[in-house]
Structure 1
Amino acid sequence: MIARAIAQQTFNRKYLVMVPNCNWTGYECDLLAVTENLRLIDVEIKISRADLRADAKKDKWWRRRSVGLPHVVEDTNESGRVIRRRHVYAEHFEIREWPAKVWKHYYAMPREIWTDTLFDELGSPASGVLLLDRDPAGGVTVRVARSATPNRDAEKISPAAAMDIARLASLRMWEAYAAMQPGTTPASKTEGGSEL
């Protein structure tokens, strides 16, 4: 319901494809959108303040790289004989403004959990914020509290990668239909089905 509201209201159907619960970027996205110009938008859906605060600790916000010269670490057996030598580098951690491969990043959450003091606790100051309210008809209304800052260095994905994501979205759709039918097990849960 939240993903549908975001797709129909916030992105105004201006996307090529959207996939829920996707790891295509290398990190989990609650909602991954591919725009018409082949850019990626990552939306994290949060249901509590604690959930929102915990997001800043996720690996997708940290870039790590080896620095300096390696030092040798020797693993020994019980008698002290060296059984393996490894080269270990010191690591440097940098905060990312955007998750890897992502052009824009948003947080989406119920309006009742949001306060403007939470802007300082987001994973990145470049992240946009979408606030959701229930409307009188029982649906969801989405309001942009802060627009996402685009990552000018994010490369467009290839047409082949967009096709791969579209294929994943199609498989998810058919599995969702199967899950709605009584007595049917989605293909990813049966022998021979692919894990998405």
Structure 2
Amino acid sequence: MTWSEQSIARALATQFFNRKYLCVVPNCNWTGYECDLLAITENLRIIDVEIKISRSDLKADAKKDKWWRREHIGYWPTVTELRHHPRLDKLVEQRVYRRPRYKSTPKDWPSKVWKHYYALPKEIWTPELLDALPNQNSGILLLDQDSTCRAWEGIRVTCLRRATPNRDAKPISPAAAVDIARLASLRMWDAYRRLDAKEAA
């Protein structure tokens, strides 16, 4: 089977989240950072799922801004840029600036997120990949194809590790939930429009 973000997201929405959570896909930026699949629970908490279809993609995730807190700690020494002035035949000051300094510390969860999961094909998973994850709070969902599975498209979702909940993550407001649902609705109608255009071609 050729895996894609869309096929994995559909399987998660219809199986792992049991059709009871509102799911928005693809690439929702509501939390301030991109989520491959954002789910809202019945008590208005956010679940962020990163979908990976390669080991290199999974290993690169730890470098994303969503996993780092940047704190301004001052400035680097002042830098003066000089350039040669042809008419005066000497160096003249062109620019003086100071670059800000930041301290980066790792986050245990992305902003606003109650639970975080990685979802990827079972065939690419190895235990060594645990060391590549940003932290040990993220859950791990593995997907494989099984013709005997009654689930959607014969895809089985297995939870290798449950996500640790972020106790500090506050529920979102009902108005925010409606805003996210509106986004999901608009994307659904846009998908229908693209389908109609494809069928008409």
Do the structures match in fold with TM over 0.5? yes
> Cα deviation per residue 1:27-47 (whole Å; 9 max; x = unaligned)?
111101111111111101111
Please provide the CA RMSD for this pair.
2.3
- Unpaired stretches in structure 2, ≥5 consecutive residues: 1-6, 86-91
**Residues 72 and 153 (structure 1 numbering): CA distance in 2 closer, same or farther, change over 3 Å?**
farther
Residue of structure 2 in register with 1:192 after alignment: none
Q: Which amino acid aligns with 1:89?
A: P
Q: TM-score scaled to structure 2, two decimals?
A: 0.81
Q: TM-score scaled to structure 1, two decimals?
A: 0.83
How far, CA to CA, are the matches of 1:37 and 1:20 in structure 2? 22
Q: Which amino acid aligns with 2:124?
A: I
Q: Does 1:30 align with 2:45?
A: no
Residue of structure 2 in register with 1:51 after alignment: 57
Q: Does 1:181 align with 2:196?
A: yes
Larger helix share, 1 or 2: 2
Q: Secondary structure at the match of 1:37?
A: coil
Indicate if the aligned counterparts of 2:122 and 2:143 stay in contact, CA closer than 8 A: yes
Q: Does 1:92 align with 2:98?
A: no
- Unpaired stretches in structure 1, ≥5 consecutive residues: 186-196
Any residues of structure 2 matched to 1:159-170 within 5 Å, and which? 159-170=174-185
Indicate if the aligned counterparts of 1:72 and 1:86 stay in contact, CA closer than 8 A: yes
Runs of 4+ in structure 1 displaced over 6 angstroms?
Answer: 75-78
Indicate if the aligned counterparts of 2:109 and 2:166 stay in contact, CA closer than 8 A: yes
Tell me how many residue pairs correspond in the alignment.
184
1:148 aligned to 163, 176, 182, which one? 163
Q: Does 1:125 align with 2:131?
A: no
Work out the percentage of aligned pairs sharing the same amino acid: 60
Q: Secondary structure at the match of 2:44?
A: coil
